[in-house]
Structure 1
């Protein structure tokens, strides 16, 4: 990564004296790093842990109120959330080795994945279990590539933090289960929906048009890319490398539209699912399947660069160019230039400019956007879009509208657009802390590298 951002910062600061300008730049970057470190540790991690660890039943609690109290709910546990908590505790254990509760929480979470969420008879992770770990097959009858991707992601991080070979063994087992059941040897990529036996679910003619059942999709694809990257760091397997490269090329060259945004759903042969030729009412009725998701676009820009580096491609020009194109598209059409933040959804009703169809700003997209902007600034420090300036604006936005400075963690959505989110639940099976943690920790690392 080309860390020439400091040179760019020199150009943007009035030059009083060379030495004083350099000191001002160093001071600014250090202050940003310190602010992120303080928020990551005190506001995010210390709010969640150890409170979220379910020492009695195993794994982690899912549901928390706005003021971060445990909800009086069934506390069902989904593989995605449980894996994200395991990943967070594993990474936190490496960042803060003197705080033993992180490693203990990681070991605890691993046991729940291994003993309760992994299907010991057939393989693959159950999608949803009750608090004690009993599969809720009537409520969630399918296994998914998306859920299994996060299991692999967390287990690889757990092995990296602990050296526990049982964690790596289970990650490898999950990878091979996906290979045998979910991987498409003809058209490449992975089938998202699988029955409990591991058979891909075919889309039938009577499937509702608004359902995503039986489609391939961008979301499971980008997180398989992320999971394989994490696993490849600790397991240099030739087949894994082949699948990692396959997913990178698929996401970069097929799933990403020529305009620079991710197509959301596909037929098995990667024909896009599109309603663009339909009337406006039909388009909006099917927008779950077909819209521009600016948050996924900026997140994917970062994931592509990360995966290319894991493969040893270094600063691959085509990959970086595509990442830039995606982030530029989000900045051009989904960025709030007044206060910062990326809007949730847009749609190309016509060929020209996408219309914003949902102007809220969910928490995870803002975290991913902050990280992506900072990463891109290190490659293009002199770009007129001023990625570093927008990174700073995004961090200000997050502090002003997303971080709960009273009760901890982040609101589910920016208060500038959704003030009611101030009293919304802080935790549920689709909201934990992985996006915030990953984005902030990586931004801290980039800022530290810049100071070197």
Structure 2
């Protein structure tokens, strides 16, 4: 969706009745948009497509070295394959003259349909090898997270192509989640499932550091995202009910009173927390319990997107919660010297404030941060936090420490903190093009469509 929030932004401007800040002028915005457009087309999309189309086994080649040579491990995960499909579908809308994006979206759809979808039990497999043979991934062979991205890609491809087979498969995936993953008692979705869709229950022999059997924020926010995309193509009453359910669950339960996402939960939505134990034990379980500033700023935008697509008018509750999340991340997880959101923080018991426990800056958080900061800048141009200035600083940070201007794409993390990542993989099953494509595409549209 080409910055579908522009309409919402204009509506909310009337509510807050603010004038654009002096530094946020049209000429400057167009200059930034031009630089982003160049980077999006030449430094990101042109490096991946059509290079990554696997014309032998189908789908997309997952792994590339820092200089875009195929890497040894070429397993294919539903998340990566769906994200590449989604990006090609959106790029086909954005650049209709470039036919290979349309072809790439169809190519991805066929792989999702013919290889990743379980024709016996339904649902998308999590992982296959390069040739498409299913690989076991432990106790959970399927996940709500991966199925969410399958739906996300199918809905986008249908919108681009009009291929009813894609919409039909998206509906089947939604029905599969409804039958197996949705919790009729406590709401939300179980993340881990066996092949036949049976939810995996947490038992005493599961290691304390494992997330197996927990509900979580990450699958929840991406189910919200997927249902939003699907609802645009298929305004089904049950889908609307589930989309609303996820928005309210995330906004009112998963987001803490401080404004950060709680990461993991028991099935009844009791938070998984180690805050009352000693620091060593807390850090041992940091994967399950920390403040993830990147997820916070990403979720703020996803909640507002869902609210808009649902047609909620003057949704001040969601708006205020989203702003609280962004402000919390800026106050507590922002590098005020060079810019960028840190990866992890923690509120240790007895401390006055938050402690940064991981000061690296992964690529996806900075991409999502740019998108959200620009959106907040257009909603609140005179806010004391100066969102537009933060947006510009983050774009400058990306150009300086994240974008590989020689080989293309973005490094996995900012070189100011992790210079060794200059030679790390450009692509793998957890790193594709979705976060930074969406951010740059949305930002370009918003910058060009400004009324400033």
With normalisation by structure 1, the TM-score equals 0.95
Further displaced range: 173-182 or 373-382:
373-382
Equivalent residue, structure 1, for 2:265: 266
| Alpha-carbon shift at residue 140 of structure 1 (Å) | 7.4
Does structure 2 retain, via aligned residues, the 8 Å contact 1:127–1:140? no
1:9 aligns with 2:16: no
Counterpart CA distance in 1 for 2:409 and 2:139 is: 28
Equivalent residue, structure 1, for 2:380: 380
Would the alpha carbon gap of residues 34 and 218 (structure 1) be closer, same or farther in structure 2, given more than 3 Å must change? same
| Alpha-carbon shift at residue 116 of structure 1 (Å) | 0.4
User: What SS is found at the alignment partner of 1:295?
Assistant: helix
User: What SS is found at the alignment partner of 1:8?
Assistant: coil
User: What SS is found at the alignment partner of 1:173?
Assistant: helix
Does structure 2 retain, via aligned residues, the 8 Å contact 1:40–1:437? yes
Does structure 2 retain, via aligned residues, the 8 Å contact 1:29–1:451? no
Residues 321-376 of structure 1 deviation map (CA, whole Å, 9 limit, x = unaligned): 00000000000000001100000000000353110000000000000011110111
User: What SS is found at the alignment partner of 1:250?
Assistant: helix
User: What SS is found at the alignment partner of 2:369?
Assistant: helix
Equivalent residue, structure 2, for 1:98: 97
Equivalent residue, structure 2, for 1:358: 358
Equivalent residue, structure 2, for 1:302: 301
Equivalent residue, structure 2, for 1:144: 143
| Alpha-carbon shift at residue 6 of structure 1 (Å) | 9.5
Equivalent residue, structure 2, for 1:18: none
Counterpart CA distance in 2 for 1:380 and 1:221 is: 27
With normalisation by structure 2, the TM-score equals 0.95
Equivalent residue, structure 2, for 1:236: 235
Does structure 2 retain, via aligned residues, the 8 Å contact 1:153–1:230? yes
Alignment of 1:202-241 (within 5 A): 202-241=201-240
Equivalent residue, structure 2, for 1:17: none
Equivalent residue, structure 1, for 2:419: 419
User: What SS is found at the alignment partner of 2:357?
Assistant: strand
Counterpart CA distance in 1 for 2:165 and 2:435 is: 26
| Alpha-carbon shift at residue 208 of structure 1 (Å) | 0.7
| Alpha-carbon shift at residue 237 of structure 1 (Å) | 0.2
Which stretches in structure 2 are left out of the alignment for 5+ residues? 1-7
Which stretches in structure 1 are left out of the alignment for 5+ residues? 14-24
1:76 aligns with 2:81: no
1:329 aligns with 2:328: yes
1:59 aligns with 2:49: no
Residues 27-75 of structure 1 deviation map (CA, whole Å, 9 limit, x = unaligned): 111101111111111111001101111011100001100011111x241
Equivalent residue, structure 2, for 1:444: 444
Counterpart CA distance in 2 for 1:254 and 1:265 is: 11
Would the alpha carbon gap of residues 245 and 357 (structure 1) be closer, same or farther in structure 2, given more than 3 Å must change? same
Counterpart CA distance in 2 for 1:178 and 1:150 is: 12
Counterpart CA distance in 1 for 2:352 and 2:165 is: 53
| Alpha-carbon shift at residue 8 of structure 1 (Å) | 2.2
Does structure 2 retain, via aligned residues, the 8 Å contact 1:6–1:450? no
Does structure 2 retain, via aligned residues, the 8 Å contact 1:91–1:157? yes
1:404 aligns with 2:416: no
| Alpha-carbon shift at residue 315 of structure 1 (Å) | 4.1
| Alpha-carbon shift at residue 207 of structure 1 (Å) | 1.1
Further displaced range: 101-110 or 146-155:
101-110
Residues 206-260 of structure 1 deviation map (CA, whole Å, 9 limit, x = unaligned): 1111110000000000000000000001001000000000000000000000000
Does structure 2 retain, via aligned residues, the 8 Å contact 1:308–1:315? no
Does structure 2 retain, via aligned residues, the 8 Å contact 1:295–1:364? yes
Equivalent residue, structure 2, for 1:316: 315
| Alpha-carbon shift at residue 168 of structure 1 (Å) | 0.4
Does structure 1 retain, via aligned residues, the 8 Å contact 2:140–2:193? no
Counterpart CA distance in 1 for 2:130 and 2:108 is: 13
| Alpha-carbon shift at residue 139 of structure 1 (Å) | 5.9
| Alpha-carbon shift at residue 133 of structure 1 (Å) | 1.1
Equivalent residue, structure 2, for 1:35: 35
Counterpart CA distance in 2 for 1:100 and 1:29 is: 29
User: What SS is found at the alignment partner of 2:222?
Assistant: helix
Would the alpha carbon gap of residues 189 and 360 (structure 1) be closer, same or farther in structure 2, given more than 3 Å must change? same
